[in-house]
Amino acid sequence: MKQIVILGSTGSIGTSTLDIIAKFPDKFRAVGLTAGTNVEKLEEQIRTFSPAAVAMADDAAAERLRARCKGLKTTILSGTDGLRQVATAPDADLVISAIVGGAGLVPTLAAITAGKFIALANKEPMVMAGRLMQDEARKHGVRIFPVDSEHSALFQSMEGHRVEDILRLILTASGGPLWNLTKEELRRVTVEQALKHPNWKMGDKITIDSATLMNKGLEVVEAHWLFDIPASKIEVVVHRESIIHSLVEYQDRSVIAQLGLPDMRTPIAYAMNYPARVPLDLPSLNLAQIGTLTFFNPDHDRFPCLGFGYEALQVGGTMPAVLNAANEVAVQAFLDRRIGFLGIAETIRRTMDAHKPVEVSALEDALGADAWARAKAGEIVESLAAAAVR
């Protein structure tokens, strides 16, 4: 029986993980759950899964949850300390890291330091502090299993192969809902249009990241740290159907890929039960029915955010953390309808241009750069919003 903690249990990845736990009660038990502010959903999860402890990032939300869960055995904690406590629970074997954004860094790193194996969906901490996370993982004998579908595909395509034989990692990108729009059309894109992902149903933040291709930029950085492969050997190809989840080319020019219909339960379950596979009741891939798979080069003019990922990785130090924080601020401002779609890339560009990177030798360096970039990006958003009403 594997004892599981889910950081971000009320989100898209979190609920898919609980789906798998519910289907295999003899294999997995949810011992700890955490959420940001969604009291109703966490209450429902407490009543279904009876975890020993839960934590809510928001103190007031935790207070409301306590009032609704009187008489239940689950301990309800709150704030950063509460999240950290659940992430490091002594009986936990595996922590599913599925908070959205940089907010996941502190609890995920705490879990690693406590020696917990990690199933990593939350890519932003890897972008902010990849070296630190990997150093801690090595120090504490921790394995980090990728959940992100592309990285799970790379991981699966590398199994049984030698790292020194790898020529290239090829990440696939769906291109998102706006792939076919012109720059002029992109300028006027609405939040609703940007949230309509063609292949995946995910949280709002990553859905916007898919529309800007920032998600792929973050994933290039994530792949670099997960697999210790230089950026020069990581490529991206747009593959509209999201059937091939990523590929690895070896020096004999053999290319190994992992395929499947787009459903996150497949990579989640693989990370949870590695190396064994569990039977999932999902539709089979029918290639003849799909008929055609299409591929394109990314368009850096219309979608500059992918290039920002490569650039941040090349500059190194605190630059990836700054890229990530600026993106989080800009995406939120777009979702709040304060800036336009192209304002996201502009905010990131201007924040990165203003940054003087330093090394990330401790958690504080990453958190400091994150705070600086949030303030800077906030100012840029204000100026863009003001210009828009003028």
Q: Which residues bind ligand NAD (CB under 6 A)?
A: 8-14, 35-36, 38, 57, 98-100, 103, 121-124, 148, 200, 202-203, 205-206, 264
Binding mask 328-367 for Mg ion (x = CB under 5 A): ----------------------------------------
Which one of the spans 143-151, 159-167, 174-182, 339-347 is the region binding Mg ion (CB under 5 A)? 143-151
Quote the least distance from Cβ 100 to ligand NAD, whole Å: 4
* C-alpha–C-alpha distance, residues 84 and 113, integer Å: 11
* C-alpha–C-alpha distance, residues 305 and 324, integer Å: 11
* C-alpha–C-alpha distance, residues 279 and 169, integer Å: 28
Q: Is 148 in the site for Mg ion (CB under 5 A)?
A: yes
Which one of the spans 104-112, 140-148, 160-168, 327-335 is the region binding Mg ion (CB under 5 A)? 140-148
Quote the least distance from Cβ 66 to Mg ion, whole Å: 36
User: What are the two backbone dihedrals, phi and then psi, of residue 178, each rounded to the nearest 5 degrees?
Assistant: -115, 10
132 vs 384, beta carbon nearer ligand NAD: 132
Which one of the spans 17-25, 83-91, 141-149, 187-195 is the region binding Mg ion (CB under 5 A)? 141-149
Q: Is 150 in the site for Mg ion (CB under 5 A)?
A: yes
98 vs 330, beta carbon nearer ligand NAD: 98
Q: Is 209 in the site for Mg ion (CB under 5 A)?
A: no
138 vs 201, beta carbon nearer ligand NAD: 201
- On the CB side of 271, how many CA atoms lie within 13 Å of its CA? 33
Q: Is 124 in the site for Mg ion (CB under 5 A)?
A: no
242 vs 347, beta carbon nearer ligand NAD: 242
User: What are the two backbone dihedrals, phi and then psi, of residue 294, each rounded to the nearest 5 degrees?
Assistant: -115, 150
264 binds, among ligand NAD, Mg ion, none (CB under 5 to 8 A by kind): ligand NAD
Give me the sheet containing 234-238, strands edge to edge: 234-238, 166-173, 244-250, 255-259
Quote the least distance from Cβ 278 to ligand NAD, whole Å: 19
Nearest residue (beta carbon) to ligand NAD? 11
Quote the least distance from Cβ 173 to Mg ion, whole Å: 8
DSSP state of 6: E
Quote the least distance from Cβ 292 to ligand NAD, whole Å: 24
167 vs 195, beta carbon nearer ligand NAD: 195
Is the peptide bond prior to 275 cis by the omega test (within 30 degrees of 0)?
yes
Q: Is residue 226 within 8 Å of 156, Cβ to Cβ?
A: no
12 vs 149, beta carbon nearer Mg ion: 149
57 binds, among Mg ion, ligand NAD, none (CB under 5 to 8 A by kind): ligand NAD
DSSP letter string, 273-307: HTTS------PPP-HHHH-----B---TTT-THHH
133 binds, among ligand NAD, Mg ion, none (CB under 5 to 8 A by kind): none
The distance from CA 186 to its chain's CA centroid, rounded to whole angstroms, is 24
Find where tokens 């002029």 sit.
184
200 vs 250, beta carbon nearer ligand NAD: 200
144 binds, among Mg ion, ligand NAD, none (CB under 5 to 8 A by kind): none
* C-alpha–C-alpha distance, residues 14 and 147, integer Å: 12
* C-alpha–C-alpha distance, residues 267 and 156, integer Å: 10
88 vs 152, beta carbon nearer Mg ion: 152
Q: Is residue 171 within 8 Å of 163, Cβ to Cβ?
A: no
- Dihedral angle computed from the Cα positions of residues 74, 82, 14 and 331, in that order, rounded to the nearest 10 degrees: 150
Tokens of 93: 């074997």
Quote the least distance from Cβ 18 to ligand NAD, whole Å: 11
Find where tokens 């720059």 sit.
183
192 vs 252, beta carbon nearer ligand NAD: 192
Q: Is 222 in the site for Mg ion (CB under 5 A)?
A: no
Tokens of 46: 């407490």
150 binds, among ligand NAD, Mg ion, none (CB under 5 to 8 A by kind): Mg ion
* C-alpha–C-alpha distance, residues 390 and 380, integer Å: 16
* C-alpha–C-alpha distance, residues 60 and 50, integer Å: 22
Provide the binding-site residues for Mg ion, judged by CB under 5 A. 148-150
